[in-house]
Structure formats: C-alpha cells, structure tokens
Amino acid sequence: MSANNHQKTWKRAAAAGAFIAVFILLFQLIGQIFIFKDTNSYNSIRSFYKIAPQTVDVAFIGSCHVHYNINPMQLWDQDGMAACNLTNSNQTFEVAVLALKECLKTQSPRLVVLDLLAAAYDDTYIYDGGIGDYIQENMDAYHFSLDKVKAAFQLRRYGNPFEYAFGLFYHKARYADLSKTDFTDTVDASTRDYQYKPNQGIENVVSTYSEQAATARDFDANEKKSLLEFIRICKENGIELLFVSAPYQLKEGEMGFYKTCREIADENGISFLDFNSVEQQLSFTPQSFSEAYHLNVSGVKQYTSYLGEYIANHYQIPDQRENPLYDAWRQDSLRARQIVKSYALHDARNLSDFLAVLNENRNDYVTCVNVYSCGIEDLPEGDIEQLKELGIDPPPYLDSYAAVIDGGQATAEHTSDTPAQVNYSLGDMSFFVKSVGYNCWSLSDEFSASDTVVKISHFEGKDDASVAAKQSDLQEGETDNTEIRIPKGGFHFVVFDKALGKVVYNDVWSSSEK
Amino acid sequence: MLFTTAKFLIFFPLVSLVYFLLGTRYKKAWLLICSYYFYMCWNPKYIVLIVFSTVVTYLCGRLVGKYRENGRLCRLFVGLSFALNLSMLIFFKYFDFLFVNIQHLAGLAGVTLVPPAFDIVLPVGISFFTFQAVGYTVDVYRNDIPAEKSLLRYALFVSFFPQLVAGPIERSGNLLRQIQADHSFDFDRMCRGLQIAAIGFFEKLVISDRAAILANRVFSDYTSYSGSELMVGAIFFAIQIYCDFSGYSHIAIGTAKILGFDLMKNFDHPYLSTSVKEFWRRWHISLSTWFRDYLYIPLGGSRCSKLKKYRNILITFLVSGLWHGAGWKFVVWGGLHGVYQILEDIFLPKIKRLTDKTGMKVHTGGVRLVRMLLTFCAVDFAWIFFRADSMRDAVGIIERIFCRFQVWNLLDGSMFQLGLKSTEWTVLILGLLIVYATYVIEKKQSVGDFLAKQNICVRWIIYYGMIFGIIIFGIYGSAFNVNNFIYFQF
C-alpha cells in the first residue's frame, strides 16, 4: 500500500473512531435526559454515586425493605457510622450484585448488609408481574458499565436486555413529555435520606413465629445463583457480610425461603438477623408499621437503632464523627434530622395533631396559609385556640384569608369580598400568599378560586433592590420557582423548612376533617 | 430475523467482518451459509424449499445451456422449471384459497368437501425467490446470460440474504454477474451503504410503523369511524405500505452495497407520479419489470391490437394482484390497476389532443400537482381493497367514505383520537418531508454524492440527526410490537 493510501486509511480510521466516540457520548447524554428520574431507585443509587470516594464504611443493599426501613443518618448520629443505602424497589439479587459491584468501584466498605427479601419472590411474583415492572426503573438508576450490560442480559427473562442496559431505548417515547427537570441533575449525596412512609397503620402483624416449624424452601434458581455470587464477591474483597430480613407481614410459606437463607448463611459463616423469626423478636407491633410491608417513622427508628447497636458490637466500624474528611456527612446528618422531624407533620391524623407539631417547631418553619370556602364555623374550640397560638386569626366562613407565619409572628390579611394577599421576605427568600374566598369569587367574574396561590422564590446572590423588584413582580402575578395552587376547599398549609430551604408540607385540612 | 431487530444489527456486522477477512475462495461460501442461516431463523424446515428451487432451476439452466440448439427441449426445461417452482408456490400460498373456493362451488352443487387436517404455513419470501429463480431460467433460454456452472454461486444468487425475503427481485444479469466477481472492502462504499440503510430504517421505523398505528386502528374496526376518518386511514395506509416496502428495499440495497453488491432500485417516489402507468414505473420496480418481461411481453405486450393489449394488461395485473395475496381482494386490487391503465390509454391521448387544440398549458406545476393528486386518489382507492380484511369490509369502507363523510372531523381534533396524538402527527409529517427532501436531492445526484460534497461537520450533524431520529422516534421496543414488513406475507 502506498504511503498516501496508508495515510488515508489512518485518517479514515481516526474519523470513524471519533464518530463512534462522539456518538457514544451523545447517546449517554441524551439517554440521561430521557430516563425517568422520579423514582426511589434513581434517588438512592444516584445519590450514592455523589458520595465522596472511600468514605462509606457500611453499605445497606436491598429493596424497599432497606430504603423505607433503615435510616443511615441515624446510624451516623448514633455511632458515627458512615453508612449508606444502595437500594432499588423490588431489587432482585442480580441487581444487588450490580449494586455491590458499583459500590466497590468508588468505596471500600468494611461491612455490607444485604436484605434478603429477594429470596421470598415466588414464581408468580417473578414471572407474572411485580418484579418485571421494576427492573427497568432499577437498571436506569445505574451508570452505564460492562457490569450493567452483564446484569441486563442476566435479567432478560423479564424483558428486553438492550432496554435495561440502555435506558434510552425504553424511554424514547417520552420526547413529547420532557420537562425542565429532565434536563437538570437534582440528586446530590445529601438526597440519600431514607424514604418516608406515612403512618397509615395496620391492624395486626400476622405472627410468623408460629411458622418456626416451616421447612426450608428453595427459592428461584437464578436468585440463588446471584446470591452466591454476591457472597463470593464480598469474600474476594475481604468485606464482611451481614444478612437481614426486615420485619413485615409474611405471606404463608415465605418463612421457608428464609430458612434456606439461614442454611446458606451458616454454610458461609455469615450472620443472619431474621426479624421475622422468634429468635429476633423485637417489640414490633402494629404501631411500628406504616402498612403491611414497611415500617413507619417510629418503627424505622427502632429498627435502625437495633441494627446500629448490633453492628457496633460485632464489627469493627470506626466512629467518623471527628474525622475532618466527613464534614459533608455532618452537614447531611443535620439535614436528615430536620427532614425526619418534618415527617411528624405528615403523620398527623387530624388538624389538632398537625397544629400541635407545627406549634412545637414554629421556629423552624415559615408557614403559609390560605383559604377558600372554609372558616372557623365547624372547628372545635381546641383547634381554634391552636390556630391562634400559631398566629392565625381564622376567618369566618367564605371570607378570604392569607397569612405567612414565621416563629409565631404572623403577617396576614383578611378580607370579605376581595382577594387577600400577603408578601413576606426572609433573607433572600420571598413568600407570596393570595386567597380568593367564596364571597369574592362568587360575586365577581374578575376573580377565580383558582387564583388562590402560594408562591415561594429564592433569589440567591441577588441584592436587596432586585429582590424587592422581584417581590413587586410577584405581586403582579409573575410565575416563580415554586407555585402551589390550593387543591381543594379548606385550610391550605404550605410549610417551608428554613434549615432545609424547601417546602416540607403542602396539604389542605378541610374543616370537616377535624 | 427482521432487519429492524437487535439480532440483525449484531448478525450483519459479524457477517461483513468475517466476509472481508476471508480469502476470495471462501467469501461466497460464507455468504451462502449466512444466507441460509438468515432464512432458517424464520423456519428451519423451509430451507428445503429454497434448496429445491435452487437445484431445479440450476439444473434447468445447465440443461438449457447444453441443449441450446434444440429449441423444443429448451422450452421443455424452462417449462419444467416454471412448473415445479410455481407448483411449490401455489401449494404453499394458494392451496387454502383454492380449496375454500372449490369447496364453495362444490357446496353450490350439493357436494361437501372436508378440509384437510394439516395447516399450511406460508414460507417467508417464497414469492420472491421462486420468481427470481425462474426468471434466471428464462434469461438463460433467451441467451441474456450464460448458464451458471457453479452451484455455489448460483445458490448464493437465489438466496442472497439482503433481498431474500422481500426483494428486490434481482435479475441474473445484474446480481449473478456481481456474484461472479470478487469484492474487497471499500470505505466509501461502506459509507454509501450505511447512508442508504439508514434511510431505510428511518422510513420503516419512524414513518411506516407510526402510520400503521392509525391505519390498523381504523381498518380493524371501520364501522366505528366516519368517512373522513376512514379516508385518513386509507391515506395513512398508503404511507405505511410505501415507507415499509421502500424502507425494506433501502435496507436491502444498503446492506448489499456494504458487501460490494449493487441491487436494483425498487422505488422511485411513486406517489409523485402523474399517472397510474408512471406509478408502476416507480413502484416495486423489480416486480413490475419482472411481470413486464416474463408475462406481459410473452403474451404479446403492446405489439398487437388494442384489444389484445388491454387483455394483456388486465391479465398481467390480475396475476400481479394474485401474487400479492391469496384472496379475491388482491385480485380486485390488481384488476383496478389494470383498468386504470386501460382507461388512461384510452382517454389520455384524447385529453392531450383537446389540450393541444385549445392551447391549454398542461406542463405547469399546478396541472402536475392536480395529476399527482388524482393519481394518488386512484391508487389509494385501490389500496383500500388491499388493506381491508375482506372484500365485504373494503366495500363497507368505501361506502362510508363516500356516504358518511364528515368534513368537520378533519378540523375538530378527531384526527388526534385515532391512535396518534398531535406530536406524533408532527413527527410523521416531518419524516415525510425528509423523504421528500431525498427525492429533491436525487433529482440531480445521489444522496451519497450530495453528502460527500458537504463539510464534515454538516455531514456528521446529518448523520447524528438521522441516527438519533431513528432511535428516539422509531416505533420499536417493549412499548410496541415489532411490525413485520408488510411484504413478508408475500
């Protein structure tokens, strides 16, 4: 081949290589835009990727039985344990292996705690729905890698492996539904709080203690193979492994799967804390549960506390609270505590309880209140008193009422047949509340009940003049960072947490919900 | 395996890579093995049919070559080739159709015929490879091409996988000669092939399969839709079948080009035709020229009386209709096209004389547009028979289009309730504009030449736009079933 031809060939090869490289880059970028991000799996795994390398000492891997039940930040507060959750909804052991491999790329945990719910997935759940519905969401959470491709093909019995490996092929039809949030990365390391479950309550926890005689029952062969691989990887990397089975309402026969897990654990010298067995009985009562499968706030506290104590007593996990490398963890811990505190607002069963929590923490929040078609006529005296204690002078029925309460001090307006609106600023935050009561919108075509709104703006880095100008703009109805329309008639509360810098509660209490 | 599946996207690069790495003497054998594997992915047992057709027509070709001086014997061999191949085709494709009709006739005579206990599954592509094979024996008989001595090369001609299951129906003079030659890797040719294949994937996945959503919905339950909705459904079917078939052909031509083979052009923007006659010069060119050369011309073609010419046209199109499917609706479809051409032959000269006499300008853009629209309407009317589930349904659809046409349905948003939202319509229209753009380019030069003249950044933007357009807007994946190419049923 002549020198010219040689050169031409190399140029072409280089051009082809560059073309392919740019294609791969564009494919990853566009894929990242298209995948659906509002999932527990995405938040859990993507926030894990943002954790500083070589800082995690304990990794909790598993399904919703981890991200709804274990609060890693509580372990930090309790024992200075640098723990994190790597979880996916309905995680199978194949995905657990992927999670472990991803974890080991940037972290060197001393201990991995694996929840064994995947062992209890029976054939019906695996092959007739349930698991298959979540695989795509789970796989989308992980960065692209050869491990992800391998896992995708291992999971091909559930669906299309190319879609699992390359989320763009699955989510491409979203092109008409893309919004601003698809183009932004809203996950950071601090997002790795545990996922809250509201306190819906259950009537009883079906006792599995009566199943102590259950014989071991083999679980899905593919799951078993992956579980053994999980164990092998931990051993090869010198990582200690702990199995857990979180407390939940077992179905008949499920205990048999955990018996098999016990056998595997014994064969491999792995401790297994089965919180559904009589040996591991704790005081989990119906009051600990959100619903049949997950714990509520107090249940999480109890479960996490027990795990933390067990790990501290049985494994060499250092206390990192004084370690200067863990500044970010300290910040995250403060934030997590604040978030957990706000869950009490969601757990309130009635307006009284809600107001009690709000009053107790009034200095932490800026509370925006507006109403339409609601007033004090149907409220009990106690609630009216609590409202007044909060700083709200509740209006008569059908009037307009808007208020912003900060630390018990209220800025409010109460009108009858015109809209009420209030403007309030706190540092570089701006709050605008407008209420269009029944008397107002029913008498005039000029106003509409849907104009009842709360707008919250954050003008980071702006000077006083531009903030003031922006407030003025707000009064004229310009759209904003956060705009919340009242969803139904009643007392609408929007609670803004000052420390977290975000809205932690947004709901309506109608006067009939006493 | 379908072209638009991951399996093919892995299969083809592997085949190509090994093909170009192999020495000359093994290339053809490798392509033949891959072609047989490609066909066996549909149904392994039916490989016997291709082998049968190959051996029969190969032997007939050799015998014709050997006994060329004996015209009668040669005609016997050609006849034998036709008989055996068409018997196979008739058995697999028309047995059920023939039986049902005979059963019906017997029933009228009071005789009950019991249907056979076995089911006949139509082998994919049988209509294509049998025509390609028997065409070869005629070409040898006519001395257009010498008889192929190498069974390997001939077998590859019959079973060459890019065009095996849905054409183009290649002529031995074109493809067999290329198989005889050697092909080494050529970067420019690979780029051109990829460009053509990309156009094919775009047509199939973005346009055809999208149009199919609306067309299928409307045709499957026509009594629930107004005349205007059915009309739109018919238009969408016209788009679907064109882009489906053209897309497949482009993929076939593109992949063959990468391997070093130039297949014939099969479509030339037929909906821009100004007459039905022109339509058939632009639509499924390989099939229409096959019928012209192996049926119409042997019948006498147009070198006979007008009446005989019209008879020949009608026979050719009736047979063409029957080739497309074993059903009376296909025969009606073909017959309609025959009637159209006869009417054009009768009336167009009269119209021309009239316009010449009156000095009316006929070569204006406006007149051309009107002629295109009229031609499209005629063609689309015939497509209704092609697409409907039965003759009765076709008549019912036509009745609703003409008698229950609600013009306001076209404007009140009803069109977006037929399975495609407004964004999907937008994507479809943009896709058609891109296809039209290729037509505009191809008036002066090939798309490949046009792209070669562009700056590398512009080229790459076009390439990435096309690739991501297919990935994002293509109808495939777990949310959709992979739509078979329409012409696979033939």
pLDDT tens digits, A407-436: 878 887 887 778 888 888 888 888 888 888
Give the mean model confidence (pLDDT) for residues A402-406: 90
Per the structure, the complete domain to which residue B388 belongs is given by 189-489
The pLDDT value given to residue A62: 95
Would you call A172 and B477 a contact, using CB atoms and an 8 Å cutoff? Answer: yes
Residues B153 and B194 occupy one common structural domain: no
Residue B468 distance to chain A (closest CA, Å): 8
Architecture in CATH of A35-339: 3-Layer(aba) Sandwich (3.40)
In a domain, B116, yes or no: no
**SS3 track for A290-330:** EECCEECHHHHHHHHHHHHHHHHHHCCCCCCCCCHHHHHHH
Q: Which of B187, B192, B427 would best serve as a mutation to test chain A binding (most A beta carbons within 10 A)? A: B187
Residues B326 and B350 occupy one common structural domain: yes
Kindly give the pairing relationship between strand A111-115 and strand A240-245: parallel
Residues B377 and B443 occupy one common structural domain: yes
| pLDDT tens by residue, A262-275 | 999 999 999 999 88
Counting Cα atoms < 13 Å in the Cβ hemisphere of A454 gives: 28
d(CA A228, CA A93): 9
d(CA B463, CA B188): 15
In chain B, the number of structural domains is: 2
Contacts of B471 in chain A (CB under 8 A): 27, 168-169, 172
Instruction: Copy the structure tokens of residue A135.
Output: 């695989």
**pLDDT > 70? residue B465:** yes
**pLDDT > 80? residue A338:** yes
Residues B224 and B362 occupy one common structural domain: yes
Residue A68 distance to chain B (closest CA, Å): 30
d(CA A371, CA A477): 18
d(CA A305, CA B455): 65
The pLDDT value given to residue A439: 77
ipTM of the shown complex = 0.85
Residues B167 and B275 occupy one common structural domain: no
Residues B242 and B357 occupy one common structural domain: yes
φ/ψ bin of A509: left (φ > 0), alpha (ψ from -120 to 50), beta (otherwise): beta
Give the mean model confidence (pLDDT) for residues B196-218: 95
Least confident stretch, A10-14, A319-323, A484-488, B61-65: A484-488
Is the CB of residue A168 less than 8 Å from the CB of residue B471? yes
Q: Which of A136, A166, A169, A174 would best serve as a mutation to test chain B binding (most B beta carbons within 10 A)? A: A169
Is the CB of residue A87 less than 8 Å from the CB of residue A44? yes
Give the mean model confidence (pLDDT) for residues B276-293: 94
Q: Which of the pair, A407 or A192, is modelled with greater confidence?
A: A407
Is any Cβ of chain A less than 8 angstroms from the Cβ of B145? no
Residues B80 and B209 occupy one common structural domain: no
Determine the residue of chain A that is closest to B422 in CA distance: A176
Average pLDDT, chain A: 83
pTM for this entry:
0.84
Residues B149 and B266 occupy one common structural domain: no
User: E strand or H helix at A289, and its extent?
Assistant: strand A289-291
Q: Is B269 a catalytic residue?
A: no
Least confident stretch, A154-158, B210-214, B482-486: B482-486
d(CA A422, CA A326): 42
The pLDDT value given to residue B479: 66
Give the mean model confidence (pLDDT) for residues A81-90: 92
Is any Cβ of chain A less than 8 angstroms from the Cβ of B457? no
Give the mean model confidence (pLDDT) for residues A479-495: 68
Q: Which of the pair, A437 or B248, is modelled with greater confidence?
A: B248
Residue A203: phi and psi, rounded to 5, are -85, -35
d(CA A270, CA A228): 12
- The Cα-based distances of B280 to B8, B334, B370, B431 in angstroms read 31, 12, 18, 24
The pLDDT value given to residue A282: 67
Residue B471 distance to chain A (closest CA, Å): 7
Distance of alpha carbon A200 from the chain centroid: 18
**pLDDT > 60? residue B256:** yes
Least confident stretch, A373-387, A429-443, B74-88, B356-370: A373-387
* Coil, strand or helix at A456: strand
Q: Where are the beta strands (DSSP E) in A324-448?
A: 365-372, 400-406, 409-415, 420-426, 429-435
Of the residues B161, B184, B207, the one at which a domain ends: B184
d(CA A48, CA A101): 13
Would you call B468 and A30 a contact, using CB atoms and an 8 Å cutoff? Answer: yes
Residues B221 and B251 occupy one common structural domain: yes
Determine the residue of chain A that is closest to B191 in CA distance: A16
**pLDDT > 90? residue B242:** yes
Q: Which of A172, A175, A178 would best serve as a mutation to test chain B binding (most B beta carbons within 10 A)? A: A172
- The Cα-based distances of A293 to A87, A299, A312, A346, A492 in angstroms read 16, 12, 26, 19, 31
A92 — pLDDT class (breaks 50, 70, 90): very high
Is any Cβ of chain A less than 8 angstroms from the Cβ of B223? no
Query: Which is nearest to A203 in space by CA: A275, A292, A297?
Result: A292
| pLDDT tens by residue, B361-412 | 777 888 899 999 999 999 999 999 999 999 999 999 999 999 988 888 888 8
Among B456, B467, B477, select the one facing A169 at the smallest CB separation.
B477
Is any Cβ of chain A less than 8 angstroms from the Cβ of B467? yes
Of the residues B132, B154, B184, the one at which a domain ends: B184
User: E strand or H helix at B439, and its extent?
Assistant: helix B422-442
Is residue B41 exposed (0-12), middle (13-18) or buried (19+ Cβ within 10 Å)? middle
In chain B, the N- to C-terminal Cα span, in Å, equals: 16
Among B463, B467, B478, select the one facing A160 at the smallest CB separation.
B478
User: E strand or H helix at A502, and its extent?
Assistant: strand A502-509
Apex CA A69: angle with CA A65 and CA A74, to 5°? Answer: 145
Determine the residue of chain B that is closest to A22 in CA distance: B464
| pLDDT tens by residue, B137-195 | 999 999 999 999 999 999 999 999 999 888 899 999 899 999 988 888 999 999 999 99
A480 — pLDDT class (breaks 50, 70, 90): very low
Residues B333 and B466 occupy one common structural domain: yes
**pLDDT > 90? residue A370:** no
Contacts of B477 in chain A (CB under 8 A): 160, 163, 169-170, 172
Among A15, A30, A170, select the one facing B477 at the smallest CB separation.
A170
**SS3 track for A84-133:** EEEECCCCCHHHHHHHHHHHHHHCCCCEEEEECHHHHCCHHHHHCCCHHH
The pLDDT value given to residue A486: 63
Q: Active site residue: B183, B250, B284, B324, which one? A: B324
Query: Which is nearest to A205 in space by CA: A274, A288, A279, A272?
Result: A288
> What are the helix (H) ranges across A128-165?
131-140, 146-154, 161-165
Q: Assign 3-state DSSP to chain A and report helix, strand, coil percentages, each to 5.
A: 45, 20, 35
Contacts of B421 in chain A (CB under 8 A): 176
Is any Cβ of chain A less than 8 angstroms from the Cβ of B187? yes
Residues B395 and B263 occupy one common structural domain: yes
| Type of residue found at B225 | Y
d(CA A344, CA A359): 12
Contacts of A22 in chain B (CB under 8 A): 460, 464
Is any Cβ of chain A less than 8 angstroms from the Cβ of B423? yes
d(CA A411, CA A405): 6
Of the residues B163, B184, B205, the one at which a domain ends: B184
**pLDDT > 50? residue B35:** yes
In a domain, B327, yes or no: yes
The pLDDT value given to residue B110: 85
The pLDDT value given to residue A461: 45
In chain A, the N- to C-terminal Cα span, in Å, equals: 89
A256 — pLDDT class (breaks 50, 70, 90): confident
**In the block, residue with structure tokens 């995905």:** A95
Give the mean model confidence (pLDDT) for residues B88-102: 87
Contacts of A172 in chain B (CB under 8 A): 471-474, 477
